[in-house]
Structure formats: structure tokens, C-alpha cells
């Protein structure tokens, strides 16, 4: 699913206009004369090129050579201090001392104890005196450089101007692409009367620094994220907020932020003692460091939110009244980086307390949730809303967890939490206090798109349900779906539909000891798990499994759609364990994607039992798209064989009919049917269907229809008119229930039985030997090799096979035998065969080949037809063989497209799509033994037995 969703949005530009974050030409050269002329320094509007704070107006501009600063409303006893960061770290106060200083400079009339970013440069300007210093790399400041910068002042109008060359600021690096900065005024009357005032951005603290020098924490700063001409950020237009540890914070610890609009928000103490070791996943005093940002009011962030390790963003708790804070992310390329904790409802004292202390998230842009190395409980949010045209995305790399907390996830845009190819967000719910905690999904406009990775419905009375009165929400799940409590698929007019659409094996799991009534009820469920690798989809199946042991009941009330990737209900590690899938009486199955799993086309069928609950007393028809995957029985290929039940029964109580197909030979489990009314000469040794009925309805009449292939698989049915259905009578006898063909059309691939009233095992049989042969033809390849054609094929599970006839044709119409190869007779594993055609006629450009498999009783079966181009094309070499550590596959002609290696059980142990003329395949981790290598090129498939020795 992922590539990342690209959404073109104008929201960022709207935010720029609404907040004054304008982009314009910034190359404005100032005249350093102590006079601020009209138009000088650009736009004289607060939030653009100037900012009035108290009696002081600050100005900033630049050209390609200098940064210009001006201050009006100053007098001889006042100075200005400007801190700049010209190579911002991420986060801005992260990194090390080598990235800049977090500590202000004491000698500038006051000590600014903490900076919001790692400053590189500090400038002090007072009267006609000025000096600057660089961060010294050790967390402090280097030696001063005084009175070397161009400046101008007008004491009569209390105005000062100064120019700082970019090369001075960046130590020869020229104009930076971006920088952060803040400034303030200082005064000094005497040793007991000095301090800080008129700080910008507004909101930064002022203080009498002679009495409280260490309790001054600067939190606001300006961002200039573009400095080029015509694409500049106006210097006072964009501000951000950094909160770092503050032991003097009021209340239970933390800093209360009464909302506001910011570009970036950073919560990061950057201390040595910044780890949260609380086992309950709660940040309390953080070992004496109160590094909590407590939000009271609405907080708008236009770019990034960063929560550092040991830090937290929480709603405030003022002790009285409700605190419902809304965190709105408006950036078009913003992100939430959570390496600490975001909690919508921390330490709630009662179940209803979450309603009085809550934090909601609104996505009004295109935002990514970046990875957190900590626990899923650290990313808790109550209500989440994604607006129309916006998106909430998973991380580019790594993974994180997001937990709903008694809230609503309302998506009218796109929620894309990743498919595991890069980074993912796993979504979970968790209750508490043994009370029902509901989590709702909604798409009120009916336009939301949901692409989720893992979904976990947690323990402790958690419930995931749709909003009653909302729209149908389609959840495409790329990972696993886990329900350990309650999943409500349909609630009134609200509906949650699930599509399992990953690229690898997926699991729908629960826990029988903790799941409500041991059931997970889906409404509409689709299996669309295509690996896209052409590997017969065996690694793309969807499994029902139990987490805590025992059997889980899965119920479907709407439609089951089978598209790609088999749905496995029988535990493959413990086949005796079955996780039942029950389709209610109103449920339907769309099985248009179901197919025999012979080619690279994806299959989709139910591997294991599927149950239909029938309550209708009238005649009903129920479809069972059953099959059996190769990994269960050791076969190389999966096998889909549909079954239809046509039922006429009373329905005083609902009755469950269960169907499963098996790839096993049951011919010797029962005696042959009596010769009357027909002589059955063969019972299928390939597969059978088991059908059972629960107690309840009495069946007056039933018909069964079974599928067989006449084209793709060629089940060996050479005479469809002779095909029959037999069933087990319960005491060890096969009974013929399709006398005279059972009313089916011949050669259609479906056969229908005559009437019966009880259920057991069913399979195919024949009255003339035209029946499913006991030879599993796995592959057949023919390729040009120098002056000959090499033919390779393989089989599995041969029973009483005799020999193979190799046939050749020029026109694909008339075939003539060119050789015979003895068959294995009886074989339960993989068998590889080879024949060389060295008698090539001059002038023939193309031959067509096929195999005719002959059984010991004379029955025959044909393979698919392979064409070989006899024009020069090169050969394929595989060496060394035997191999110990690696194989080299080299083509002298067409490019190699794919390598697939099978073990002796017919299981795929290596599958590599490639595009090269030489490939090295590692085999050192494989067990010693015989293997079988398929090499696919544009001209065909080469089959090569391989021996691995260590």
C-alpha cells in the first residue's frame, strides 16, 4: 500500500497568512544613522519586520552581506542582548556543547541561565559600545570581540542600529539558510538594581537578575527558516517554544502553557538525568526534574512537536473545573516526535476524570508520527480528528505505538500507519478499573481512508466500535488484528469493515481466556493480502490464531470477500486446533478472487473449516470456497475446490453446517461401493471434502456440488461423463450419490450429486477410469541448451505412476512421442525428471513440448505445453553442484528474472526476483540434502536438481 500518500495542500499557506508568517523579499539594506526611515527594515508591522514590546520597538532585516538590528525606545543605561543559533540542532536544545551553549552570559548586566536553543553567537549592544562572543564548545562562551561592527545610534530618539556581517556570525560561512534567535533589553543602575525587561518574543520571562539569576528560563524564540531573497521568513513572524527542566515549576511539577500558536514546540530537558524509569509508565517528578509541559487551552503547532526522553506533554490539572486541551497540528510537512510521553489523561483518579482532564488531537495538515523507542502507553490520546484533505501518517523509519484512551478517532482525510516496509504505527486500546472503556472509529463525511498496521484491542474492558449514526469505516490492516476484549463491528448505523491487506503473513488473534464470550465478530471482512512477489501467496496468508490457548470463535455477519491470500482457520503448528469462522444466516461470500493456486496468480480460499449458520426454513443455497494450502500437507501448491450445499430443511433452531477440504488419499479408508447400479472403478486419491451438521434442523433433502478443474489443473478427468460423487455412509462404505452424472453438465468443472439427508466425507470417483490421477505435476520446463533442448519437470505424491511420454510438435496441434522416462511409481516427496531432445531438425524455428503421464492402469494425464525458440540464445550454467555455501547461476543469453529453490517436501525455501545475467544464491544455512532450483528467464523456466553438502 505504502508508497507514502502525497497530498497537495494549501493549508500551510493559509497558516502563514493567518499568523503573519509571510514570505517576501528580505534583502533590505539598512542605513546605520540612528533613524528608522519609512520602509527601512521592511514592513513596519508587528509580527513582520518589527515587534513592539513595552516601550521598545525591535527591528530586523538583512541583505546578502549583513544582518541588521535596531532598537528604539532605549536610553544610555539600557543595553540589548541578542542570542542566535545559525546551525540549529534537532531538537533545538539537543545535541552536545559542541553544537552551542544553553547558558546565557552573566556579564551582560544579567545572567540568562537557560536558552531555548543551543546558541552559537551572542551580541551585546549598549550606547555606542558593542561586543560579541562565540560559543566555546564547552557549554559556555569564548573571549569577547568589541567595537568592530558598523553601528549607529541617536540618543535623542533613543534608537540604536548595528550591522553584523554574515561571515562574522557564521565564522566565514556566509549567509545561513536558516537561524533561530531571541533578544531582550537589560538595565544596570547599580549592583542592587539591575535586570531584564522588554523580552521578545513576548512571553519570555523578565526578572531582577541580581536576586534570581538562576531562575530565568527563556522559552520562546523566533524561527527564520528561509533567508533567501523573495523566499524569506519575516524575522518576527514565526515563533516557537522550548520547555526544559524547571525545578521551580508550580504544582505537582511542570510548566503550565495556556495554549498559543507556535511553529515548533520542544519539550526536552537535555540533562544527564533525563530517563523515565517509572515502571507504571508515568512521568512523576522524573527523579526530581519536573520536565512536564502542562497544556491548558488550545495549542496550535505549524511544524514539529518534539517530546524528548524523560519528558512529557500532558493536559493541565488545575484542581477545579474541566481542562480540555486541543492540540492542533497544521503543518503541511510537520511531524510529532515522541521519545517520552504524550498522555491525554495522566493519572486519572476516577473513571470520569478523563472528561475533566483531556487532550484531543486535531490534524489540520499532513503530519507524521515519528518513532518512539518506549512503550505504547507513552502515546495516549483521547479524541483524534483528521480533517478532510489532511493526513496522519506513520514514520519513515522504525516504529511507534499510539493508544486510544476513551475517545473517538474521527477520520475524514487519510490515516496511513504503514505496511511495515519502513516505519509503522501500531494502534491500540486499553481499558482500566474493570469498567467498559469505549473507543470509537468514525468517518462522518464518508471520505476517510484508513491504512493501519497492527490493531490491538487491549484487556481491562476495552471495546472498539463504530460511531452509531456515523458512516461505514473501512479499515485496511497491513499487519495483525488482535482482539483481547471486544470488537463491535456494527452499532446501529455505524459500521467497521476490515480488510486484511498486508504483504506478508497476517494474524487475526484473540485470547480465549480474556475475550468476551470467546468471540470476535466482523461485519464485512476482506482477505486481500497479496505479497506481489509471484510466490503463490503462501507467505501472504491470513491466519486465525489464539494467544492464550484454546479455540477462538470468529463470526461474520456481513460479507466475506476473498481476493488474495488464503484465510487459514486451522492452526498450522497444531492442526488439531481449529479457530472456527462462522458465517451467520445473513452473511454472504464473494469468492470471485478464489482460484486454484497453480500459477503465480494469487489464490484466495479458506484453508480449514468454514461454518454457515442457517436459520431459514425455506430451501437455501450456501457456498463454501474451501481449499487446502501446501504448507499444511507438505504439497508444493495450494488447491482450491469449491463446494456448494443446496438445502431443504426445517429450521426450528439455527443449524450450523461445517465444510473443510483435505488433500489426502481416503480411497483405502472405505470399501468400494457395490457394483449396482454402477461399477465404481476408482476413488480419488487426491482430496476429499468433510461436511458436518450441528444438532437442530432436520434435513429433508440436500444436494452437494463439487468443483474439479478441466483446464488449469487438468485433474485427469478424461471423461467427465463418467465422473461421480461418493460419500461415506458412516460405517466404512462409500456410497454412490451421483448415479447417471447427477444432473450436471459434462465437462463444466462442476458435478452435482443426487439427493441425500446426512453428512460425512465426500469425494470424486469414476465409473471408467477417467478420474483425478494420483500424480501431482508441479512444474514443466523446456529450454534451449546448445544444440539440444533440455526438458525438466517435477512431481509430488505419485501413487502407482508408470512412465512419462515426452511429445513434440511443430504446430502445437499434432504431437509425436520422442522418448519415455520411467516414473517413480509411489513417491510422497519431490521428484525431479530430465530428458534431452538432441534430434533437432534443421530449419525449424520453434518446437512445442508436452508430457503424457501414464498410470499403471493405463490412465493418462497431459501437462501444459511449453514452447522453445531454436534461434541462438545462449545457455544457463549452475555451479558448483554439489554446493556447500553458495550457488552461482549464470545465463549466457536472456536475463534471469527469478530463482526459486524447493526442498524435498516441495516447500519454497528461497525465492528471489532478480534482473541479472549472474546471481549468487546462498545455501550455507540450508540443511544438507537434495533441492530443486527453478530458473525463470524471458524464454522459459529451467529446472535443476541441486545437492547441498556441508
Q: Could you tell me if 4 and 416 are in contact, meaning their C-beta atoms sit under 8 angstroms apart? A: yes
User: Containing H/E element for 193?
Assistant: strand 193-200
pLDDT category, 634, cuts 50, 70, 90? very low
Report which of 488, 496, 502, 522 is spatially closest to residue 563, judged by C-alpha positions.
Answer: 502
Residues across the chain:
950
User: For residue range 511-536, what is the model confidence (pLDDT) as tens digits?
Assistant: 766 555 557 889 999 998 876 544 44
User: For residue range 277-293, what is the model confidence (pLDDT) as tens digits?
Assistant: 333 333 344 444 457 78
Q: Rounded to whole angstroms, how far apart are CA atoms 795 and 818?
A: 20
**Residue 743 pLDDT more than 80?**
no
**Residue 845 burial by Cβ neighbours in a 10 Å radius (0-12, 13-18, 19+):** exposed
Q: Residue 419: phi, psi to the nearest 5?
A: -110, 10
pLDDT for position 146: 94
Pull the grid cell for residue 62. Answer: 538583512
Q: Could you tell me if 32 and 151 are in contact, meaning their C-beta atoms sit under 8 angstroms apart? A: yes
Peptide bond into 587 cis (omega under 30): no
Q: What are the counts of helices (DSSP H) followed by strands (DSSP E) for the chain? A: 3, 81
**Residue 876 pLDDT more than 90?**
no
Report which of 508, 500, 574, 483 is spatially closest to residue 537, judged by C-alpha positions.
Answer: 500
User: For residue range 264-274, what is the model confidence (pLDDT) as tens digits?
Assistant: 999 987 654 44
Q: Rounded to whole angstroms, how far apart are CA atoms 847 and 841?
A: 10
Highest mean pLDDT, choosing among 439-443, 754-758, 769-773: 754-758
Pull the grid cell for residue 887. Answer: 550457488
Report which of 667, 833, 912 is spatially closest to residue 766, judged by C-alpha positions.
Answer: 667
Report which of residues 166 and 912 the model is more confident about: 166
CA 677 to chain centre: 59
Q: Could you tell me if 288 and 310 are in contact, meaning their C-beta atoms sit under 8 angstroms apart? A: no
Rg (alpha carbons) of the chain, rounded to whole number: 38
Q: Rounded to whole angstroms, how far apart are CA atoms 397 and 611?
A: 41
pLDDT for position 846: 81
How many Å from the N-terminal Cα to the C-terminal Cα in the chain?
41
Q: Rounded to whole angstroms, how far apart are CA atoms 486 and 437?
A: 10
**Residue 610 pLDDT more than 90?**
yes
Instruction: Kindly state the percentage of the chain with pLDDT values over 70.
Output: 78
CA 411 to chain centre: 17
Q: Could you tell me if 918 and 876 are in contact, meaning their C-beta atoms sit under 8 angstroms apart? A: no
Contacts of 237 (CB under 8 A, 6+ apart): 19, 20, 21, 22, 47, 48
Q: Could you tell me if 334 and 367 are in contact, meaning their C-beta atoms sit under 8 angstroms apart? A: yes
Mean pLDDT of the chain: 79
Report which of residues 326 and 945 the model is more confident about: 326
Pull the grid cell for residue 677. Answer: 447400479
**Residue 777 pLDDT more than 90?**
no
Nearest-5° Cα angle at 906, 904 to 909 = 85
Report which of 657, 647, 644, 645 is spatially closest to residue 695, judged by C-alpha positions.
Answer: 657
User: Containing H/E element for 724?
Assistant: strand 723-728
Report which of residues 566 and 720 the model is more confident about: 566
DSSP code of 183? E
Q: Rounded to whole angstroms, how far apart are CA atoms 592 and 672?
A: 36
pLDDT for position 204: 86
Report which of 450, 506, 462 is spatially closest to residue 481, judged by C-alpha positions.
Answer: 506
DSSP code of 674? P
Contacts of 682 (CB under 8 A, 6+ apart): 667, 765, 766, 769, 771, 859
**Residue 770 pLDDT more than 60?**
no
Distances (CA, A) of 105 to 74, 135, 207, 307, 935: 21, 10, 15, 27, 71
User: Containing H/E element for 121?
Assistant: strand 121-126
pLDDT category, 377, cuts 50, 70, 90? very low
**Residue 16 pLDDT more than 70?**
no
Q: Rounded to whole angstroms, how far apart are CA atoms 925 and 697?
A: 56
SS3 assignment for 444-461 = CCCCCEEEECCEEECCCC
Q: Rounded to whole angstroms, how far apart are CA atoms 762 and 508?
A: 30
Q: Rounded to whole angstroms, how far apart are CA atoms 706 and 761?
A: 12
Q: Could you tell me if 504 and 539 are in contact, meaning their C-beta atoms sit under 8 angstroms apart? A: yes
E strands along 786-926, which residues? Answer: 788-798, 801-809, 816-822, 827-837, 846-855, 860-862, 866-869, 876-879, 886-891, 896-902, 908-916, 918-922
Q: Rounded to whole angstroms, how far apart are CA atoms 830 and 900?
A: 14
Report which of residues 21 and 478 the model is more confident about: 478
pLDDT for position 432: 55
Distances (CA, A) of 507 to 486, 510, 550, 566, 584: 17, 10, 16, 12, 22
3-state secondary structure of 249: coil
Pull the grid cell for residue 261. Answer: 500558536
Report which of residues 473 and 650 the model is more confident about: 473
Q: Rounded to whole angstroms, how far apart are CA atoms 862 and 44?
A: 88
Report which of residues 107 and 666 the model is more confident about: 666
Phi-psi region of 260 (alpha: psi -120 to 50; beta: other; left: phi over 0): left
Peptide bond into 192 cis (omega under 30): no
**Residue 203 pLDDT more than 90?**
no
Highest mean pLDDT, choosing among 233-247, 406-420, 725-739: 725-739
CA atoms within 13 A on the CB side of 7: 25
User: For residue range 173-200, what is the model confidence (pLDDT) as tens digits?
Assistant: 999 999 999 999 888 777 677 778 889 9
Q: Rounded to whole angstroms, how far apart are CA atoms 417 and 305?
A: 18
Distances (CA, A) of 8 to 302, 303, 332, 333, 415: 16, 16, 9, 11, 16
3-state secondary structure of 34: coil
Peptide bond into 201 cis (omega under 30): yes
Q: Rounded to whole angstroms, how far apart are CA atoms 481 and 426?
A: 10
Report which of residues 516 and 51 the model is more confident about: 51
Distances (CA, A) of 503 to 250, 636, 744: 51, 20, 39
User: Containing H/E element for 13?
Assistant: helix 11-19
User: For residue range 96-144, what is the model confidence (pLDDT) as tens digits?
Assistant: 999 999 988 876 755 566 889 999 999 999 877 899 999 999 989 999 9
Q: Could you tell me if 581 and 556 are in contact, meaning their C-beta atoms sit under 8 angstroms apart? A: yes
- Mean pLDDT calculated for residue range 720-729: 87
- Mean pLDDT calculated for residue range 678-693: 85
Q: Rounded to whole angstroms, how far apart are CA atoms 569 and 500?
A: 14
Q: Rounded to whole angstroms, how far apart are CA atoms 526 and 40?
A: 65
E strands along 275-340, which residues? Answer: 292-295, 299-301, 304-307, 312-315, 323-329, 335-338
Amino acid at each position: 500500500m505504502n508508497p507514502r500518500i502525497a497530498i497537495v495542500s494549501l493549508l500551510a499557506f493559509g497558516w502563514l497568512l493567518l499568523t503573519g508568517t509571510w514570505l517576501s523579499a528580505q534583502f533590505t539594506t539598512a542605513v546605520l544613522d540612528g533613524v528608522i526611515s519609512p520602509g527601512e527594515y521592511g514592513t513596519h508591522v508587528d509580527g513582520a519586520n518589527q515587534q513592539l514590546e513595552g516601550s521598545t520597538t525591535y527591528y530586523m532585516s538583512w541583505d546578502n552581506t549583513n544582518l541588521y538590528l535596531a532598537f528604539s525606545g532605549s536610553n544610555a543605561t539600557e543595553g540589548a542582548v541578542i542570542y542566535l543559533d545559525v546551525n540549529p540542532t534537532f531538537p533545538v536544545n539537543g545535541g552536545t556543547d559542541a553544537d552551542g551553549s544553553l547558558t546565557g552570559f552573566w556579564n551582560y548586566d544579567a545572567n540568562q541561565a537557560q536558552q531555548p536553543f543551543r546558541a552559537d553567537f551572542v551580541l551585546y549592544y549598549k550606547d555606542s559600545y558593542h561586543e560579541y562572543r562565540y560559543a566555546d564548545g564547552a557549554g559556555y562562551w569564548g573571549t569577547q570581540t568589541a567595537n568592530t561592527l558598523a553601528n549607529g545610534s541617536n540618543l535623542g530618539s533613543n534608537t540604536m542600529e548595528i550591522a553584523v556581517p554574515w561571515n562574522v556570525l557564521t565564522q566565514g560561512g556566509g549567509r545561513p539558510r536558516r537561524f533561530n534567535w531571541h533578544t531582550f533589553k537589560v538595565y544596570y543602575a547599580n549592583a542592587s538594581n539591575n535586570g531584564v525587561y522588554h523580552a521578545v518574543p513576548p512571553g519570555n520571562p523578565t526578572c531582577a537578575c541580581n536576586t534570581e539569576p538562576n531562575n530565568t528560563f527563556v522559552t520562546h524564540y523566533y524561527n527564520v527558516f528561509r533567508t533567501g531573497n523573495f523566499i524569506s521568513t519575516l524575522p518576527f513572524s514565526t515563533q516557537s517554544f522550548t520547555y526544559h527542566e524547571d525545578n521551580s515549576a508550580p504544582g505537582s511539577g511542570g510548566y503550565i502553557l495556556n495554549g498559543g500558536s507556535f511553529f515548533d514546540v520542544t519539550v526536552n530537558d537535555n540533562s544527564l538525568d533525563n530517563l523515565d524509569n517509572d515502571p507504571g509508565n508515568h512521568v512523576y517528578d522524573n527523579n526530581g526534574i519536573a520536565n512536564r509541559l502542562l497544556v491548558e487551552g488550545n495549542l496550535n503547532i505549524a511544524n514539529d512537536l518534539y517530546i524528548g526522553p524523560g519528558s512529557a506533554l500532558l493536559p493541565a490539572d488545575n484542581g477545579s473545573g474541566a481542562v480540555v486541551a486541543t492540540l492542533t497540528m497544521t503543518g503541511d510537512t510537520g511531524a510529532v516526535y515522541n521519545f517520552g510521553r504524550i498522555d491525554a489523561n495522566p493519572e486519572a483518579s476516577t473513571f470520569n476524570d478523563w472528561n475533566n482532564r483531556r487532550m484531543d488531537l486535531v490534524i489540520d495538515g499532513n503530519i507524521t508520527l515519528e518513532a518512539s523507542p518506549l512503550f505504547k502507553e507513552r502515546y495516549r490520546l483521547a479524541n483524534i480528528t483528521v480533517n478532510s484533505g489532511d493526513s496522519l501518517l506513520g514514520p519513515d523509519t522504525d516504529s511507534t505505538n499510539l493508544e486510544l484512551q476513551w475517545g473517538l478517532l474521527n477520520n475524514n482525510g487519510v490515516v496511513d500507519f504503514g505496511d511495515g516496509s519502513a516505519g509503522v504505527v501500531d494502534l491500540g486500546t486499553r481499558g482500566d478499573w474493570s469498567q467498559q472503556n469505549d473507543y470509537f472509529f468514525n468517518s462522518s463525511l464518508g471520505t476517510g481512508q484508513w491504512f493501519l498496521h497492527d490493531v490491538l484491542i487491549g484487556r481491562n474492558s476495552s471495546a472498539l466500535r463504530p460511531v452509531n449514526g456515523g458512516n461505514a469505516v473501512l479499515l485496511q490492516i497491513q499487519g495483525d488484528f488482535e482482539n483481547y476484549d471486544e470488537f463491535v463491528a456494527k452499532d446501529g448505523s455505524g459500521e467497521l469493515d476490515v480488510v486484511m491487506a498486508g504483504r506478508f503473513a497476517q494474524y487475526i488473534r484473540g485470547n480465549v481466556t480474556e475475550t468476551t464470550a470467546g468471540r470476535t465478530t466482523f461485519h464485512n471482512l476482506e482477505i486481500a493480502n497479496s505479497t506481489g512477489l509471484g510466490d503463490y501467496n503462501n507467505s501472504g496468508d491470513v491466519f486465525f490464531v489464539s494467544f492464550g490457548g484454546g479455540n477462538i470463535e470468529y463470526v461474520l455477519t456481513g460479507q466475506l470477500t476473498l481476493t488474495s491470500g488464503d484465510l487459514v482457520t486451522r492452526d498450522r503448528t497444531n492442526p488439531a486446533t481449529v479457530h472456527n469462522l462462522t458465517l451467520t444466516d445473513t452473511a454472504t461470500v464473494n469468492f470471485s478472487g478464489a482460484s486454484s493456486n497453480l500459477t503465480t496468480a494469487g489464490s484466495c480460499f479458506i484453508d480449514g473449516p468454514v461454518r454457515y449458520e442457517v436459520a431459514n426454513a425455506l430451501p437455501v443455497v450456501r457456498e463454501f470456497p474451501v481449499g487446502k494450502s501446501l504448507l499444511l500437507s507438505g504439497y508444493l501448491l495450494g488447491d482450491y475446490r469449491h463446494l456448494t450445499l443446496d438445502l431443504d430443511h426445517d429450521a426450528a433452531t439455527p443449524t450450523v453446517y461445517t465444510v473443510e477440504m483435505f488433500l489426502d488419499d481416503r480411497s483405502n479408508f472405505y470399501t468400494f461401493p457395490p457394483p449396482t447400479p454402477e461399477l465404481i472403478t476408482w476413488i480419488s486419491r487426491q482430496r476429499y471434502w468433510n461436511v458436518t451438521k450441528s444438532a437442530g434442523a432436520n434435513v429433508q433433502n440436500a444436494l452437494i456440488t463439487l468443483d474439479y478443474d478441466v483446464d488449469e489443473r487438468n485433474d485427469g478427468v478424461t471423461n467427465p461423463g463418467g465422473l461421480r460423487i461418493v460419500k461415506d455412509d458412516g460405517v466404512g462404505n462409500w456410497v454412490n450419490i451421483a448415479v447417471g452424472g447427477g444432473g450436471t453438465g459434462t465437462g463444466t468443472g462442476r458435478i452435482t450429486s443426487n439427493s441425500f439427508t446426512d453428512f460425512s466425507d465426500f469425494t470424486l470417483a469414476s465409473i471408467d477410469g477417467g478420474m483425478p490421477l494420483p500424480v501431482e505435476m508441479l512444474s514443466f520446463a523446456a529450454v534451449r541448451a546448445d544444440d539440444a533442448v533440455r526438458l525438466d519437470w517435477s512431481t509430488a505424491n505419485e501413487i502407482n505412476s508408470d512412465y512419462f511420454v515426452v511429445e513434440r510438435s511443430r504446430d502445437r496441434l499434432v504431437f509425436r512421442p520422442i522418448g519415455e522416462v520411467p516414473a517413480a511409481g509411489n513417491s510422497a516427496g519431490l521428484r525431479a525428471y530430465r530428458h534431452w531432445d538432441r534430434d533437432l531438425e534443421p530449419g525449424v524455428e520453434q518446437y512445442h513440448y508436452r508430457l503424457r503421464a501414464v498410470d499403471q492402469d493405463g490412465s493418462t494425464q497431459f501437462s501444459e505445453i511449453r514452447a522453445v525458440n531454436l534461434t541462438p540464445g545462449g545457455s544457463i550454467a549452475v555451479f558448483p553442484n554439489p554446493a556447500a555455501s553458495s550457488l552461482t547461476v549464470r545465463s549466457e543469453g536472456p536475463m534471469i528474472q527469478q530463482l526459486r529453490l524447493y526442498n524435498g517436501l516441495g516447500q519454497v525455501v528461497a525465492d528471489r526476483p532478480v534482473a541479472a545475467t549472474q546471481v549468487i544464491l546462498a545455501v550455507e544455512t540450508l540443511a544438507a540434502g537434495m533441492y530443486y532450483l527453478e530458473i525463470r528467464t524471458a524464454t522459459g523456466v529451467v529446472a535443476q536438481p541441486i545437492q547441498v553438502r556441508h
